[in-house]
Structure formats: structure tokens, C-alpha cells
């Protein structure tokens, strides 16, 4: 088991259930507890969580999985449930699930009665390497990703890597996109290392998760509310979020990491156009990501809808659409404004390579 200490809480990675039981038993023994799950974590993860002595009497609330349910309406359902069972401000809220559960459950807990404590059990690779650190909580609104939310840290995060064995290959790949992102923004050596990763070896995943959490944690500790350096973590997300939002709810909808993989290829190309990296670097990144992720057909007739979604991105300024670009593999340049014709050219680069 690894412990990564963040600002005022710790992320525990590995075989962490005993540690979680000790933590909850020590700090919340006499408090009411509510566990939030979806239909997947209710089946595969909840039995092990409920078996912890500290959580034997916890209430359980189940919601539907999927980004399309990460809404104010679902959050309202959570608030109503908490109120109906008379949860007070001393209670503990326990999120057991992927990024949707962590984002929305944390947001619901942070706003109910002006905030109750919560802990996270991230159960997907994506949530273990990304949402486990940073305190960004929220929901989608009017088709825009994470449009409404707050910054609030959990009291602890328990990334039990055994839960990853319940995931299919597509979910593992989705999480791997954020690992690729962490390597591209922070460490050329790490980028080289992950290209030899064996997905079947849980011990290798433990070490990779630890490295990714440490990279994100080091960035977040310097800039919790994303005023400057934390924007490094947005690499791949301006275009990626637009693609994800545009396909949300359709038959061809993408998982978050699948969309971010496309975004990283496009934004690497924009890094080349900005004069930061060589074309051979852009091709190295594109070739690797395309070798790992299936190619997605993006209809050029949707380009201007994607631009419209990017223009609504909360990272923007009055100057235009804001990007984080690669200064080189392992280092970024934040607050880079790109023109519409460059963005379309980047989408074409993805389409043709």
C-alpha cells in the first residue's frame, strides 16, 4: 500500500480496505454514514465496502451510472434522500464509484447543509489516477461539462486497486488516457516507461497509479484553484471535452478518456503549430495514442459545433479559446490562445493520421 499526502488529506493506493476501516472507525464511529453507488459498483464493489466493521450500519443510495446522469437533477435526488433520512452535518458521505460518482457525490456532500464530510473509494482507473486528487467537484449543465461545481477536498481517498479487476478493457483504456496525459505534461521518462506497461499486472498498475497521483498532487498543491500552474492538467481537455459533450447521449458516445485521447493528439498538433515542438514529436505522440486507442470518425460537418462548445469552456478568457500546449514532451505552456482555423487544422490532423 502507498500513501500520498495531499494538502489536508491522504490518498491510499493498493490493498487499502483495512486502512479505510481504521480511518472511518477512528473519526466517524458515532456518525451516520451514507454510501453512494451506481448499479455497477453496487454489484462488484459494495459487498466488500459494506463488510467493513465501520460501515456495517451505513445507508446505501444507488443512482444510475453514466455521464448523462451527472446532472443537477440527480444531485437533487441525492439531497432529497439525505434530507429524508435526517442526515445532519456530522455525517460521513462515502462515494464508491468512478469519476461521475466522485464528482457528483462530492458536490452533493459539499453543498448539503453547507457541507458534510466525504471520502472517496475510486473504482475505475480513470478515477484513481485523476479524480482522486484535486478537489474539483461538480455536474454537467445544459450540455456543458462540469459547468456547475465547487473546489472541496475529501477527508481521505482509498484507491483499492483490486477493484480494477472488475473493469473491461475499454474502461481501463479510458483511465490510461489520463496516465498518458500526466507523462506528457510532466516527465519524458515516464512517457517512455508507460509505453511498455503490462495491463495484466496489477502490481505494475499500482506503481503507475502512484506515479500519476504524485504528478497530479504536486501540481495541485501549488495551485489548488487553478489560477496558473494547475492549468497544465487541462492538456487534451479543451478539444476532448468538446468531443465528449457533442457525442453525449448518442449511440457513438465516448468515455471520458477516449475523448481526451483525441484531444491530446489535436492539442499536440497545436503545440507544433505554436512553434513549441517539432513535427516528429507530434507524430510520436499521435502514433502512440493511435496504436493504443481505436480510431474515432469525426465528421467535418461537426467541426463548428465543436468550436462552439470550446467557446463555452470555463477555462477561456476574453481573448479566445484557451489551451494548455506542450512546450516539449514532459513540459507545458499554459494560457495559449489558438485560432479557429488552427483548431480545425488540428482536428484534420487527427482525422488523417
Q: Cα separation of 99 and 103, whole Å? A: 6
The residue from 32, 136, 181, 182 that is catalytic is 136
* pLDDT at 248 > cutoff 70: yes
pLDDT: which is higher, 154 or 198: 154
Active site (annotated) includes residue 230: yes
Q: Cα separation of 2 and 13, whole Å? A: 5
C-alpha separations of 181 from 45, 86, 255, 260, 262 in Å: 27, 42, 16, 9, 11
The residue from 234, 246, 258, 267 that is catalytic is 234
* pLDDT at 143 > cutoff 70: yes
pLDDT digits 0-9 by tens, 26-36:
999 999 999 99
Active site (annotated) includes residue 304: no
Q: What pTM does this model have? A: 0.89
Check if 2-166 and 178-352 are the same fold: no
Q: Cα separation of 75 and 141, whole Å? A: 12
Q: Cα separation of 153 and 137, whole Å? A: 9
pLDDT-above-70 percentage for the chain: 97
The gap between the terminal CA atoms of the chain, to the nearest Å, is 40
Active site (annotated) includes residue 237: yes
Residues 307/343, Cβ–Cβ less than 8 Å: yes
pLDDT at res. 225: 85
Coil, strand or helix: which one is 90?
Answer: coil
Q: Given pLDDT bands bounded at 50, 70 and 90, which one contains residue 320?
A: confident
Active site (annotated) includes residue 178: yes
pLDDT at res. 202: 58
Question: Of 245-249, 257-261, 348-352, which gets the smallest average pLDDT?
Answer: 245-249
Grid look-up 470518425 returns 297
Helix or strand holding residue 329 (H, E): none
Q: Cα separation of 31 and 55, whole Å? A: 10
Active site (annotated) includes residue 152: no
| Across 153-160, average pLDDT | 97
Active site (annotated) includes residue 216: yes
Active site (annotated) includes residue 226: yes
Residues 41/101, Cβ–Cβ less than 8 Å: yes
C-alpha separations of 219 from 6, 186, 192, 216, 291 in Å: 10, 9, 21, 5, 28
Q: Which three cell numbers stand for residue 320?
A: 479566445
pLDDT digits 0-9 by tens, 184-230:
999 999 999 998 887 666 567 888 899 999 999 999 999 888 888 99
pLDDT at res. 134: 82
pLDDT at res. 146: 86
Name which of 58, 12, 68 is nearest 37 in CA terms.
58
pLDDT at res. 315: 73
Q: What mean pLDDT, rounded, does the chain reach?
A: 93
pLDDT at res. 199: 63
Q: Given pLDDT bands bounded at 50, 70 and 90, which one contains residue 287?
A: very high
C-alpha separations of 283 from 22, 37, 181, 268, 294 in Å: 48, 41, 16, 9, 17
Active site (annotated) includes residue 231: no
The residue from 70, 145, 226, 258 that is catalytic is 226
List CB contacts of 278: < 8 A, sequence separation 6 or more.
Answer: 272
What DSSP letter does each residue of 190-218 carry, written as one string? HHHHHTT--TT-HHHHHHHHHHHHHHHHH
The residue from 178, 244, 258, 267 that is catalytic is 178
Residues 101/95, Cβ–Cβ less than 8 Å: yes
CATH of segment(s) 178-352:
1.20.1090.10
| Across 249-272, average pLDDT | 95
The residue from 241, 244, 267, 322 that is catalytic is 241
Q: Given pLDDT bands bounded at 50, 70 and 90, which one contains residue 132?
A: confident
pLDDT at res. 196: 85
pLDDT at res. 318: 62
* pLDDT at 62 > cutoff 80: yes
Residue 301: how many other CB atoms lie within 10 Å: 7
Q: Given pLDDT bands bounded at 50, 70 and 90, which one contains residue 170?
A: very high
Name which of 163, 50, 149 is nearest 97 in CA terms.
163
* pLDDT at 250 > cutoff 80: yes
CATH class of 2-166: alpha beta
Rounded to the nearest 10°, the torsion over CA 271, 347, 209, 33 is 120
Domain extents in the chain: 2-166, 178-352
Active site (annotated) includes residue 160: no
Question: Of 41-55, 85-99, 242-256, which gets the smallest average pLDDT?
Answer: 242-256
Amino acid at each position: 500500500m502507498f500513501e500520498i499526502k495531499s494538502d489536508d488529506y491522504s490518498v491510499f493506493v493498493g490493498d487499502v480496505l483495512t486502512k479505510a476501516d481504521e480511518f472511518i472507525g477512528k473519526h466517524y464511529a458515532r456518525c451516520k454514514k451514507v454510501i453512494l453507488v451506481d448499479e455497477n459498483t453496487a454489484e462488484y464493489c459494495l459487498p466488500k465496502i459494506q463488510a467493513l466493521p465501520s460501515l456495517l450500519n451505513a445507508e446505501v443510495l444507488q443512482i444510475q451510472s453514466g455521464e448523462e446522469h451527472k446532472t443537477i437533477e440527480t444531485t437533487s435526488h441525492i439531497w432529497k434522500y439525505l434530507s429524508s433520512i435526517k442526515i445532519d452535518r456530522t455525517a460521513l458521505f462515502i462515494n464508491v464509484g468512478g469519476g461521475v460518482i466522485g464528482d457528483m457525490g462530492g458536490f452533493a456532500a459539499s453543498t448539503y447543509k453547507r457541507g458534510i464530510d466525504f471520502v472517496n473509494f475510486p473504482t475505475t482507473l480513470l478515477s484513481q489516477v485523476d479524480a482522486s486528487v484535486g478537489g474539483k467537484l461538480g455536474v454537467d449543465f445544459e450540455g456543458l461539462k462540469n459547468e456547475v461545481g465547487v473546489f472541496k477536498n475529501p477527508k481521505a481517498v482509498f484507491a483499492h486497486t483490486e477493484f480494477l479487476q472488475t473493469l473491461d478493457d475499454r474502461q481501463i483504456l479510458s483511465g490510461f488516457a489520463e496516465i498518458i496525459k500526466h507523462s506528457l505534461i510532466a516527465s519524458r521518462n515516464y512517457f517512455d516507461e508507460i509505453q511498455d506497461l503490462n495491463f495484466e499486472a496489477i502490481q505494475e498498475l499500482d506503481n503507475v497509479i502512484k506515479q500519476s497521483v504524485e504528478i497530479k498532487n504536486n501540481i495541485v498543491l501549488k495551485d489548488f484553484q487553478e489560477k496558473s500552474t494547475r492549468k497544465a492538467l487541462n492538456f487534451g481537455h479543451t478539444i476532448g471535452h468538446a468531443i465528449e459533450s457533442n457525442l453525449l447521449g448518442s449511440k457513438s458516445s465516448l468515455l471520458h478518456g477516449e475523448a481526451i485521447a483525441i484531444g491530446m493528439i489535436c492539442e499536440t498538433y497545436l503545440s507544433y503549430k505554436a512553434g513549441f515542438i517539432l513535427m516528429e514529436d507530434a507524430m510520436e505522440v499521435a502514433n502512440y495514442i493511435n496504436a493504443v486507442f481505436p480510431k474515432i470518425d469525426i465528421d467535418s460537418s461537426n467541426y463548428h459545433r465543436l468550436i462552439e462548445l470550446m467557446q463555452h469552456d470555463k477555462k477561456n478568457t476574453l481573448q479566445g479559446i484557451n489551451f494548455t500546449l506542450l512546450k516539449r514532451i514532459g513540459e507545458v505552456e499554459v494560457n495559449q490562445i489558438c485560432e479557429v482555423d488552427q483548431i480545425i487544422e488540428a482536428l484534420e490532423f487527427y482525422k488523417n493520421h
